Structure 1
Amino acid sequence: MSTNHPAARSAASATPITSITLADVPALAAGCAIFGTGGGGAVQTPQLGVEIALEQFGPVPVKQVADLDADDVVVAMSGIGAPSVGFEMLGASGQAEIIVEEIERLTGKRITTIMATEIGGSNGVGPVGWAASLGLSILDADGMGRAFPEAPMTAMNVANLPPGYAVLSDVIGNVSILRPVSLAWLERHARALTVASGAISIGANYVMDRDTVRGAVIEGSVSRAVQVGRRLLTATDPVGALTDELGASLITGGKVVDIERRTEGGFTRGSVTVEGIGEHRGRLTRVEIQNENLVVMEDGAVIVSVPDLVTIVDSETGDAISTEMLRFGQRVSVLAWACDPLWRTERGLELAGPRAFGYDLDYEPFGVSADETIGATR
Structure 2
Amino acid sequence: MTQIPPAPRAVERLSEITEDDVAALGIGTAVLGTGGGGAVHGAQMMTERALREHGPVPLVTVDELEPDDVIVLMSGIGAPTVGIEMLAASGQIVALRNEAERLLGRPITAIMAAEIGGSNGVQPIGWAARLGVKVLDADGMGRAFPDGAMVAMNVAGVPCEWAVQSDVVGNISVMKTVDLHWLERHARALTVASGSICIATHYPMTAAMAKGAVIEGTVSTAVRVGHALMSSSDPVAAVSRELDARVLMSGKITDLDRRTVGGFVRGSVTITGTGADRGRMQRLELQNENLLVLEDGEVIVSVPDLITIIDAETGHAITTEMLRFGQRVSVLAWACDPIWRSPRGLELAGPAAFGYDLPYVPFEGAAR
TM-score range, shorter chain: over 0.9
- Correspondence for 2:139: 142
Q: AA paired with 1:325?
A: M
Q: For 1:216-365, what aligned pairs fall within 5 Å after superposition?
A: 216-365=213-362
Once the 2 structures are TM-superposed, how far is the Cα of residue 98 of structure 1 from its aligned partner? 1.0
Residue among 210, 220, 234 paired with 2:207: 210
Where 2:361 maps in the other structure, the secondary structure is coil
Please tell me the residue identity of whatever aligns with 2:69: D
SS of alignment partner, residue 269 of structure 1: strand
Structure-1 separation of matches of 2:94 and 2:295: 46
Secondary structure of 1:30 counterpart: helix
Pairwise CA distance, 1:160: 1.0
Give the secondary structure class of the aligned counterpart of 1:261.
strand
1:93 aligns with 2:52: no
Deviations 1:129-168 (A, max 9, x none): 1000011111000000000000110001001111111000
CA drift of 1:71 comes to 2.1
Residue in structure 2 matched with residue 45 of structure 1 by the alignment: 42
Could you give the per-residue CA deviations for residues 290-349 of structure 1, whole angstroms, max 9, x where no partner exists?
A: 000000001111000000000000001000000000000100000000000110000000
1:204 & 1:315 partners in 2: Cα distance? 36
Q: How does 1:55-134 map to 2 (within 5 A)?
A: 55-134=52-131
Select the residue among 158, 168, 171 that pairs with 2:168: 171
Moved over 2 A (4+): none
Distance 1:92 1:234 in 2: 35
TM-score, scaled to structure 2: 0.96
| Distance in 2, Cα, partners of 1:287 & 1:182 | 31
Q: Which amino acid aligns with 1:270?
A: G
How far apart, CA to CA, are the structure 1 residues paired with 2:234 and 2:98?
Answer: 46
Q: Kindly indicate whether the alpha-carbon contact (under 8 Å) linking 2:333 and 2:365 is maintained by their aligned counterparts in 1.
A: no
Inter-partner Cα distance in structure 1 for 2:207 and 2:243: 29
Q: 1: distance between equivalents of 2:158 and 2:35?
A: 27
Inter-partner Cα distance in structure 2 for 1:209 and 1:67: 12
Maintained 8 Å contact 2:351/2:357: yes
Match of 1:374 in 2: none
Q: CA deviation at 1:100?
A: 1.0
- Measured at CA, do residues 368 and 125 of structure 1 come closer, stay the same or move farther in structure 2, by a change above 3 Å? closer
Q: Distance in 1 between matches of 2:205 and 2:90?
A: 25
In structure 2, the residue corresponding to 1:285 is in which secondary structure? strand
The letter of the residue matching 2:235 is P
Q: Provide the C-alpha distance between the structure 2 equivalents of 1:317 and 1:81, rounded to a whole number of angstroms.
A: 28
Amino acid paired to 1:243: S
Q: What SS class does the counterpart of residue 327 from structure 1 fall into?
A: coil
Cα separation, 1, equivalents of 2:134 and 2:91: 17
Q: Distance in 2 between matches of 1:73 and 1:321?
A: 34
Paired residue secondary structure (1:307): coil
Question: Partner of 2:249: helix, strand, or coil?
Answer: strand
Q: Percent identity?
A: 62
Q: Which sections of structure 2, spanning at least 5 residues, go unmatched?
A: 1-10
**CA displacement 1:8-43 (0-9 Å, x = unmatched):** xxxxxx712000001000000000000000000010
Tell me the amino acid that sits aligned with residue 163 of structure 2. A
Q: Distance in 2 between matches of 1:186 and 1:76?
A: 14
Partner of 1:23: 20
Partner of 2:8: none
- What is the CA-CA distance between 1:284 and the residue it aligns to? 1.1
Give the Cα separation in 2 of the matches to 1:126 and 1:191: 20
CA RMSD of aligned residues (A): 1.2
Equivalent residue number for residue 155 of structure 1:
152
Separation of aligned partners in 2, 1:50 and 1:232: 20
Q: Is the 8 A contact 2:245 2:365 kept in 1?
A: no
Return the TM-score normalized by structure 1. Answer: 0.93
Shift of 1:368: 6.4
Corresponding letter in the other structure for 2:26: A
Q: Distance in 1 between matches of 2:237 and 2:72?
A: 36
- Any idea what the Cα deviations from partners look like across 1:217-260, whole Å, max 9, x if unmatched? 00111011101111011110000111111111111100001100
Structure 1 SS opposite 2:209: helix
Task: Tell me which residue corresponds to 1:4.
Answer: none
Conserved 8 A contact 2:269-2:285? yes
Matches of 2:255 and 2:174 in 1, distance apart? 41
